Structure 1
Amino acid sequence: MKFEFIRFLVVGVINTLVGLSIMFLLLHGAGLSYWVSTFIGNTVGAGVSFVLNRNFTFRSKEAGLWSVVRFVCVILFCYVVSYQLGSMVIEWVAGDYFSEIVVTNGKVLFSTGLYTVLNYLLQRIVVFRERRYA
């Protein structure tokens, strides 16, 4: 379990760097909205996450289709909860005190932290848990 968590952190760093890079590139480089940028960045990061976590972190042997379905449900749930809550919290805490770009970047970073914690817990419990068959 200890090494599993370390592997999850390594995978998390990789997919977070991929996802955040895409988010900020789309947000600032392409001028896309917060929601579009974070959704696309998280979708690409999630693909990286699924492959690496399935094969490296959790070493899952389960058939692909159902683990993909559970993974997609968990990712969507984590995305909506984390990015909505993160957006609301940062807007409430900093919205009146900082420029729009600082607030938006704060939303992305804070929400990414929430997403990471919630995602690990649900991937471990729902997606890649060891199943006991009778």
Structure 2
Amino acid sequence: MKQLLRFAAVGVLNTAVGYTVIFACMYLLDMGPVPSNVTGYAFGLVVSYALNRTFTFRSVAGKKREITRFLLIFAVAYLANIGVLVVLTEHANVHKGWAQLVAGVVYTCLFFLLSKYYVFVDRQPRTPTR
């Protein structure tokens, strides 16, 4: 449960950064929803890896293997995100702001599960509590 709460805390920070960039790109720079989304997620990717490795999962695995896996699961979750975004904005006529939020939920759920069970599987042992 603590790990899920740590992931959520990192997610709040990462989401704040990502959506700030996404909405700034859409509404201040007049970029489209997909380029704005790409830009926002790019900014959040580095923050996400660093904090999830050290704070959420406390991994001790080799960084090279982990970064490769992290980028792979990011691609899977992100493609799901973009797929949902495109379907909602271009085929279901959902407002682009709401569509970004729904796509973000899909991304987050996939990303946590794949991080926990595929990327950060080598963690520091827990110290026993008395």
TM-score, scaled to structure 2? 0.87
Match of 1:117 among 104, 109, 117: 109
C-alpha distance in 2 between matches for 1:33 and 1:82: 15
In structure 1, the partner of 2:73 is 74
- Which stretches of structure 1, 4 residues or more, deviate above 4 A after TM superposition? 90-93
Tell me the CA shift for residue 56 of structure 1.
Answer: 0.3
- Whichever residue aligns with residue 54 of structure 1, its letter is R
| Cα drift, residue 65 of structure 1 | 1.0
What CA RMSD, in Å, does the superposition of the two structures yield over aligned residues?
1.6
* More off after superposition, 84-93 vs 48-57: 84-93
Confirm or deny: 8 A CA contact 1:71 1:123 kept in the other structure: yes
Consecutive unaligned residues of structure 1, counting only runs of 5 or more, are: none
Q: Is the 8 A contact 2:60 2:122 kept in 1?
A: no
What amino acid does structure 1 have at the position aligned with 2:32?
S
2:103 is the alignment partner of 1:104: no
Instruction: Report the count of equivalent residues.
Output: 123
Structure 2: gaps spanning 5 or more residues: 124-130
Match of 1:32 in 2: 31
Q: CA deviation at 1:83?
A: 2.1
What's the offset of the Cα at 1:85?
2.1
In 1, the alpha carbon distance for the partners of 2:96 and 2:36 equals 11
C-alpha separation between the residues in 1 aligned to 2:28 and 2:61?
A: 39
8 A contact 2:22–2:37 mirrored in 1: yes
Task: Report % sequence identity.
Answer: 29
TM-score normalised over the length of structure 1: 0.85
The answer to whether the 8 Å contact 2:21/2:36 transfers is yes
Instruction: Indicate yes or no: 2:56 matched with 1:57.
Output: yes
